Structure 1
Amino acid sequence: MHRPPMPDAEAALADELSAVRPDLSAAYAAGLPGARAAVLTRLWRALAHEPMPWIARRETGADGLTLHLTDGRRLHGPRADPYATAAYVTDVTVDDGSYERSYDRPALLMTALAVPHAPAFAAELDDSVASLALSRANQPAADREPVADWEWEQRVVDGHPYHPNCRSRPGFSVAEQLAYGPEHRPVVELALASVDDCLVRGEWPKWLRDEDRFLIPVHPWQAAHVLRLPPQEVVPAHPLMSLRTLALPDGPHVKTALSTRLTSSVRDISVYSIETSATVSAFAEDMAARTDGLLHVTRTLGAVTAHSPDLAAVLRESPEVYARPGERVLPVAALASTELPRSPSWLADFTRLALGVCLRLLDLGVALEAHGQNLLVVLSATGAPVRLVYRDLADIRVSPARLGRHGIPAPALSGRIVTDDETTLRRKMFGSLIGGTLGATAGSSAVLREALETVVRDLPRTPDLAALLDEPLPTKALTLMRLSPETPGDIWAWLPNPLVSP
């Protein structure tokens, strides 16, 4: 095993932690091997399935998977289950024909590969491992079930189930991670920036107005590092899964701009999304009403921007408003933190609900980005999945042609949200729901296959279902996208379809 000194981010975080939270230092150090394996497993999945231009071919044998690089080197590791969520990759071997080295640290493996843009991505991987170890080190014993919606959100410790940058937080100090990361359970004080010239959609509440001026909630990281705001009036809030979205004391959620890269994207709020927010919200509410009560959409209550993606905010309903007495509503990503007996029958029921609703909407003309953060499930008192809630409408896709076939007027929208391209629509929904939500909930190809086989035979035979049954499944090539900064937009990979693959 090739074991050079601790990578920079791991060591730097350890040094900072010894100064700000020395009580966590031992748990952090103990958690590093598990965090490395978790990130390395995600990276190996990407190398096994994404269309890397420097991988010539892949060869599966009895002893695992071998990747043949275009420069003649070979990488060897275990077989890669594209839907596995457990950390099962502890090292990957690089063979250059004369010497073999095994790497247990994803950043060092990426550095050794020396492919285009590897150094920058290696730094992100390094940061992801360190931040993940910190997140795991600061967890209390789960002595009670969450009560408030934000408590469910804060149980998601490991971040994205398939992205190697699952916990990458560049630009955040250790103190800031502890102060703002939802898994660390802080109360965050949002600054209220007073602005007189704003674009507003919906109703901006009176408590966020100062006579003729608007008060825009600003994340404290944004206030300190981007806007350089002087001390402001503040309001306390609880951070949710996305870190930049928080639950306010009186219930609504507020999405704030956060101009740093978390996982994949810079989390500002475009002026376009503010301009279209009220129209998209009203349209999505109407479409949800066509699902026989099986789907609710959190309404956008108000949205405001100071004509800048760096200073904007969106207020929307809490998903809790759609839970009846005795029910719980939680992000699908938080299911892994529950004590629910997720039996094959439970997973089949959830798959039937989620896939049925999303296929119905896709047929009507709306492709949801139904990943585990945007999609929430309402559970009965006994834990049965009974309804869905969807939030954050900025990245749905709407097909005027499909809407027209069903006699539904198209909303007055333009820009990226509107498309009639069949491939784009199916990628949006299948890639997020099956390649993300259902795959991660199942946790393996075999379990996912069983759930899908149980469900699909009873679903209406639409062209979209036919594509699902017969074609490989799309997923965003998240790692290739990070290694391709010169390529705008999404890059896609194709995963083995558990319904058609042995």
Structure 2
Amino acid sequence: MHRPTAEDDVAADLAAVRPALLPRFTAELPGARSAVLTRLWRAFAYEPLPWIRRREAARDGLTLWLADGRRLHGPPSDPYATGDRVTAVELDGVPYTRPELLTAALGVPHATGLAAELGHSTASLALSRAGQEPPGDAWPEPDREWEWEQRVVDGHPYHPNCRSRPGFSVAEQLAYGPEHRPVVRLGLLPVPASECLVSGAWPGELRDGERLLLPVHPWQAAHVLKRGGEPVLAAHPLMALRTLALPGGGPQVKTALSTRLTSSVRDMSVGSVRAAAALSAFAEEMAARTGGLLRVTRTLGAVTAGSPDLAALLRESPRVHAGPGERVVPVAALPGTGLPASPAWLAAFTRLALGVGLRLLELGVALEAHGQNLLVVLSPEGEPLRLVYRDLADIRVGPARLARHGIPLPRLPERILTDDVTALRRKLFGSLVAGALAATAGSGPALAQALAAAVPELPDSPDLAALREEPVPAKALTSMRLTPGHAGDLWTVLPRPSEV
């Protein structure tokens, strides 16, 4: 008897809410399965999973010997490559084309939950791809640069849960997912100012006498708060889903959205709201030490009504850091621009990004510079000029490094402070090298070529030496999903790109 799968559920819902899209959804399923299976096979090839005893590479691919004597066999895995490359993985000679079925067949601890997530990720990815239309103008108007965010269809380039959105119906994915290009109408929920913690300045247009008007995402209003304000604030969802751009180049709104996206449930804690203004001012001061090569989107105001479920943050648009004729593009969206246009362009961008990241790391700040947080300002000719960084919640700050440079440490959340050299390097290299730069390059050989051109031109330092000589750290994304209850990130190391 056939048991309904996530693909079946999405198809049934789609037939009810958008039947015209159903044939395209069906056609996109094989590619979506391959995309998620590719990411899963990368995890099996490189993450420290306790049920994998050894790995053997050969001309015909990679064989993994499991603790129970079974074998997994698949194609060679380039940990830096993107795209749909793995169409099947064999478990004891039986081929699997669907990642959730392979995971269920493995039967390792917590595989059932991960299998369900992978099925949902595959179905949601097919839905995301099915809804695409040929892009309009290659370069959106400056006040519509949020369109770049909506062209990032596949989500995280290396996470098997790249499109997993548990708790979202098909209708809600179509209504709120940035890749579907909706306009989302945020509610404005009035809350007495006396019940709110405010960091920075909350604007007058979001006040009503003695009450603050908190922008509330409609999904949050319906599923968590069970209430919401009048839906009056039209906005365009960005890659982060819960962050939206107001029309006309106005500020961007980060809303509370208490659902799991890829690895974790993101919220806006009271502590993060309390520290928002101080953290923004500190980051702006540190960015000024890069000689104008890095700008930070300032936090304008943050507010919480005593709960991570009811909070919001306003920050300036990255557009304010671009001059006439310049464009600001999230690094994750660069392939949609036709960039990198050449190995020389990729080398120039790598030199810029690594130079900025290493300079801040030397001073004591490790950015989480993945393709969503990191943006690049392009000249009218498309050359990389400088960087813009947004979303400061997950940076790391080393007090000892700051002190060596005579930089005072402001009051910042304890969770972001560490003098652990490994933790600081993991934060930057894991996000920038194994994330933003790798996904932009698209393969290990291309990334190796860019690094070979860029690194010799950077100032020498112990951090740069570690990047040259040691394996590249990366988050063990699948291991984290197979280790419920573990607090914090799990890590692995990838071979240096030149060794792939």
Q: Shorter-chain TM-score: which interval?
A: over 0.9
**1:171 to 1:292, Cα distance in 2 relative to 1, 3 A:** same
Which residue matches 1:129?
Answer: 122
How much identity, in percent, do the aligned residues show?
A: 69
Which residue matches 1:379?
Answer: 378
Q: Name the Cα RMSD after superposition.
A: 1.2
Which residue matches 1:171?
Answer: 167
Q: Do structure 1's residue 25 and structure 2's residue 22 form an aligned pair?
A: yes
Query: SS of the residue aligned with 2:73?
Result: strand
> What amino acid sits opposite 1:201 in the alignment?
S
Q: CA deviation at 1:106?
A: 0.3
CA contact (8 A) 2:189 2:229 kept: no
Q: CA deviation at 1:268?
A: 1.6
CA distance in 2, matches of 1:130, 1:465: 41
CA contact (8 A) 1:127 1:168 kept: yes
Q: CA deviation at 1:496?
A: 0.4
> What amino acid sits opposite 1:170 in the alignment?
P
Which residue matches 1:183?
Answer: 179
Q: CA deviation at 1:342?
A: 2.0
Out of 186, 199, 202, the position equivalent to 2:200 is 202
CA contact (8 A) 1:7 1:126 kept: no
Alignment of 1:3-82 (within 5 A): 8-82=5-79
User: What CA deviation, in whole Å up to 9, does each residue of 1:409-442 have, x standing for no partner?
Assistant: 1112241111111011000000000010001001
Query: SS of the residue aligned with 1:59?
Result: strand
> What amino acid sits opposite 1:347 in the alignment?
L
Which residue matches 1:85?
Answer: 82
Alignment of 1:417-428 (within 5 A): 417-428=416-427
User: What CA deviation, in whole Å up to 9, does each residue of 1:1-60 have, x standing for no partner?
Assistant: xxx968611000000001110110000000000000000000000000000000000000
Query: SS of the residue aligned with 1:388?
Result: strand
CA distance in 2, matches of 1:31, 1:5: 22
Query: SS of the residue aligned with 2:219?
Result: helix
Q: Do structure 1's residue 239 and structure 2's residue 237 form an aligned pair?
A: yes
* Length-normalised TM-score, structure 1: 0.97
Query: SS of the residue aligned with 2:258?
Result: strand
Q: CA deviation at 1:288?
A: 0.5
Which residue matches 1:272?
Answer: 271
Gaps of 5+ in 1: none
Q: CA deviation at 1:400?
A: 1.1
Alignment of 1:101-180 (within 5 A): 101-145=94-138, 146-147=140-141, 148-180=144-176
User: What CA deviation, in whole Å up to 9, does each residue of 1:51-109 have, x standing for no partner?
Assistant: 000000000011000000000000000011000002110000000xxxx3110000000
Which residue matches 1:224?
Answer: 222
Query: SS of the residue aligned with 1:71?
Result: coil
Gaps of 5+ in 2: none
CA distance in 2, matches of 1:183, 1:35: 15
**1:462 to 1:258, Cα distance in 2 relative to 1, 3 A:** same
Which residue matches 1:396?
Answer: 395
Which residue matches 1:484?
Answer: 483
CA distance in 2, matches of 1:436, 1:81: 13
**1:7 to 1:71, Cα distance in 2 relative to 1, 3 A:** farther
Q: Do structure 1's residue 320 and structure 2's residue 322 form an aligned pair?
A: no
CA distance in 1, matches of 2:31, 2:374: 28
**1:434 to 1:341, Cα distance in 2 relative to 1, 3 A:** closer
Q: CA deviation at 1:267?
A: 2.2
Q: CA deviation at 1:232?
A: 2.4
CA contact (8 A) 2:334 2:340 kept: no
User: What CA deviation, in whole Å up to 9, does each residue of 1:125-165 have, x standing for no partner?
Assistant: 00000000000000111231222121111010000000000
**1:462 to 1:299, Cα distance in 2 relative to 1, 3 A:** same
CA distance in 1, matches of 2:2, 2:263: 27
Alignment of 1:449-460 (within 5 A): 449-460=448-459
Q: CA deviation at 1:487?
A: 1.4
Q: Do structure 1's residue 263 and structure 2's residue 259 form an aligned pair?
A: no
* Length-normalised TM-score, structure 2: 0.97
CA distance in 1, matches of 2:233, 2:65: 54
- Work out the number of aligned pairs and report it: 494
CA distance in 1, matches of 2:229, 2:316: 28
User: What CA deviation, in whole Å up to 9, does each residue of 1:359-388 have, x standing for no partner?
Assistant: 000000000000000000001000000010
CA contact (8 A) 1:474 1:495 kept: yes
Q: CA deviation at 1:488?
A: 1.2
